Amino acid sequence: MKVFGVTKKELFLILAGSTLLALAINWFLSPNALITGGISGTSIIVEEVTKGMFGVGVPLWITNLGLNIPLFLISIRQRGFQFAQKSLYSVLWVSFALWFTKFLPNPFTSTEDLLLPALFGGIFLGCGIGLVIRAGGTTGGTDMLASIIKFKHNNFPITKLMLMIDGCIILSGFFIFGQEKAMYGIISLVVINKIISNIIEGIDYAKAVFIISDENERISKEIMEKIPRGVTGLKATGKYSREDKEMLYVVVSQNEIARLRDLVQEIDPKAFMTIADVREVLGEGFVKDPTALTN
């Protein structure tokens, strides 16, 4: 069932992620003048500069909303309104959350160590952006700009694109807030990108298993019936024994690997198994829409 064109799960991820992002900015980054890039970092810079020029800084939520308008127009032209629709909900909620979280009491104001707000701001921001991306949208700003670039140049990993864009914004913060805060901002940025990568890749994480056994027929039949997953037989030659053998190849999800391992060892305790991590799996039983994977 869809609500406003998105599923309830997607809407929950968008609202939860956007709220975490706003909390990261208002609780950790903005009070300590830590620039981690993105529209959030740009908003903090604009607020500081306008405060020095006019005595009153432009509110974060206004800058966030204003800078995202041209990005939305480009995104809608590239992918259509359905893709931008999810991002629109996120940006609107982020702008609203930046306003109302400003009135929430900040429980993290007592620390004078910039490392703690840099780390926790990175954790909150990374989780927030990661959840929104998992819902198929963006929070606008850096991740939307990176998504626009990736649409044209699909070989560029989105996390590296975001890192490059954010680096330019952090460099601007260096000249305004000084080198110490800029360096702490870089620490926060590293944490953000690591968490985003883990959230994006972790859900689609899978295991590729290679099996060599004298009981291949029985093993493959049991895998297809009991797990169930498709099995591929590959021709293999032992270089020491010079014997031709069949090697089984199967891809399973993380929660299926223990069951597969037990199944193979129960049939043939002498079976040789190699288990490798798989970052992306497209096809039957896994992700069927490659556009859903943004990393």
**284 in any annotated domain:** no
Residues 160, 238 within the same domain: no
Residues 165, 268 within the same domain: no
What local confidence, expressed as pLDDT, does residue 236 receive?
Answer: 86
What pLDDT digit, counting tens, does each position of 177-208 carry? 888 888 888 898 889 888 887 777 655 567 89
**68 in any annotated domain:** yes
Scan for tokens 């169930």, then name that residue. Answer: 228
What pLDDT digit, counting tens, does each position of 121-158 carry? 999 999 998 888 878 777 777 767 887 888 877 777 77
Residues 239, 104 within the same domain: no
What pLDDT digit, counting tens, does each position of 87-104 carry? 788 888 888 999 999 888
Q: Where is the domain boundary, 203, 235, 265?
A: 203
**67 in any annotated domain:** yes
Q: What is the CATH number of the domain that holds 233?
A: 3.30.70.120
What local confidence, expressed as pLDDT, does residue 203 receive?
Answer: 53
In the chain, the number of structural domains is: 2
In degrees rounded to 5, what are phi and psi of residue 140? Answer: 80, -175
What pLDDT digit, counting tens, does each position of 214-249 carry? 899 999 999 998 888 889 999 888 777 778 888 999
Residues 174, 247 within the same domain: no
Alpha helices in the chain (DSSP H): 8-23, 38-54, 60-79, 81-100, 115-134, 141-152, 158-177, 179-203, 216-226, 257-267
**What is this structure's pTM?**
0.66
d(CA 59, CA 71): 20
Q: Which domain covers residue 228, as residue numbers?
A: 206-278
Q: Which residue, 143, 134, 192, is CA-closest to 11?
A: 134
Residues 228, 198 within the same domain: no
Q: What is the mean pLDDT of residues 157-175?
A: 80
